[in-house]
Structure 1
Amino acid sequence: MSTLVNMYRALRGSPVTLLGGAILITGSVMFVVKRVYEPYKARNRRAEAEYIADYLFRKEQESRGVEFHDDNVTLKD
């Protein structure tokens, strides 16, 4: 354990250590964005697009005078 402590003391404040830490933090942030945030954002965008498409489809059917019966009524006008 003392070897690691001595290594830390020797490298503390070194430009190489700072650069390595910056690269590690940047890589971690990029990983989280790509693996967590983007799929979440895509699901929400897809759900919103589906909701809007369903709304437009129903309005078009109403304007044509066609009755559209659906057991899963999810739209609130």
Structure 2
Amino acid sequence: MALALLGWILGDENRADRLLSLTGLTPDILRERLDDRSVLAAVLEFLLAHEPDLTKAADDLQIKPEAIVSAHQQLTSSV
């Protein structure tokens, strides 16, 4: 789910720029550490911090927002 949401974020240049600016992630980090739980958690946290993006992503990917919250909790419980 986190990878699908990352793809959704990166599909919009403004949103992608905001992700990089706010999280401190770089394109290199994203490429090299796609399987890193902390990177995936940061992606989900980015969405959780901005409700309009959260609800739009959930709608576009047909995921309940609560599932995104739950996925973030699962990722951060082991980070």
- TM band (smaller chain): under 0.3
Structure of higher CA gyration radius:
1
* TM-score normalised according to structure 1 size: 0.27
